[in-house]
Amino acid sequence: MKMSRIATTLLTLAVLFTMIGCQSAYYAAWEKLGKEKRHLLKDQVEEVRSEQQEASEEFKDVLSRIKELYGFEGGDLEEFYEDLKSDYEDSLKRSEKVSDRIDKVEEIAEDLFKEWEREIEEIDNAKFKSQSRTSLQETRRRYGRLHRSMIQAEQSMGPVLNKLEDYVLYLKHNLNAQAIGAIRQEAADIEVEVGSLIRDINQSIREADEFLKGF
């Protein structure tokens, strides 16, 4: 048992060192191309914003699809199911891309701020040191607003995706008019949630614009 714990610890440390090494190599490679961490953070924030814009459009498509239920009168149930399933899968993939981008933003921001703090201590000029510290604090404040809005939008996707998955699985096993009627009764709730999600995404996009404007 003791040897097993030691082996597990060594494996964990090996993975950690590999990750640290890979990240260091990643930064080193970009620095050779003239991109510092601040440039990489800017790029990743832009990528999050782009993915969120795509997500907003895809969730709008989902909302339009659900609204079709109100006028659904004996149409092709199989086709409706396949369309809704496709909308759900597209939205799920997009939400995963958004989450991946946010993870990258968090990682680079943390590394950037640590580097910034460390380098401030290397400045001898008191005036420059003070101004650099003030700039760091302001950047952290603006990043905090951006980060909160990104996380809010990310978390808002979960309940909507869960409901969509319920609809898709329910229709898969109940392709009949009664199933459409049952989902139609639930449609108002998801309409509200999708509307709220799109507002959260748009707010996050606005915060990204503001952050990038002053970065």
Q: What is the signed CA dihedral for 73, 74, 76, 77, rounded to 10 degrees?
A: 90
Residues in the chain: 215
C-alpha span between 65 and 183 (Å, rounded): 12
Q: Does position 3 have pLDDT exceeding 60, yes or no?
A: no
Which runs of consecutive H residues, i.e. helices, occur in the chain?
2-32, 37-67, 77-120, 126-173, 177-213
Domain spans, the chain = 1-35, 37-213
C-alpha span between 106 and 98 (Å, rounded): 12
Assigned CATH topology for domain 37-213: Four Helix Bundle (Hemerythrin (Met), subunit A) (1.20.120)
Cβ atoms within 10 Å of 41's Cβ, excluding its own: 23
C-alpha span between 108 and 104 (Å, rounded): 6
Angle at 177 between CA 171 and CA 178, to 5 degrees: 80
Mean pLDDT of the chain: 87
pTM, rounded to two decimals: 0.82
Residue pLDDT, tens place only, 123-152: 999 999 999 999 999 999 999 999 999 999
C-alpha span between 78 and 60 (Å, rounded): 22
**Closest-CA residue to 97 (of 54, 129, 139, 33):** 54
CB-based contact 84:171 (threshold 8 Å): yes
pLDDT confidence of 211, banded at 50, 70, 90?
Answer: very high
Residue pLDDT, tens place only, 21-70: 578 888 888 888 888 999 999 999 999 999 999 999 999 998 888 888 77
CB-based contact 92:161 (threshold 8 Å): yes
Q: pLDDT > 70: what percent of the chain? A: 89
Residue pLDDT, tens place only, 161-172: 999 999 999 988
Q: What is the model's pLDDT at position 2? A: 46
Q: How far apart are the first and last CA of the chain?
A: 52
CB-based contact 201:56 (threshold 8 Å): yes
Amino acid letter for position 196: S
Give mean pLDDT, residues 199-207.
97
Place of tokens 């440390």: 13
Q: 3-state class of 125 per DSSP?
A: coil
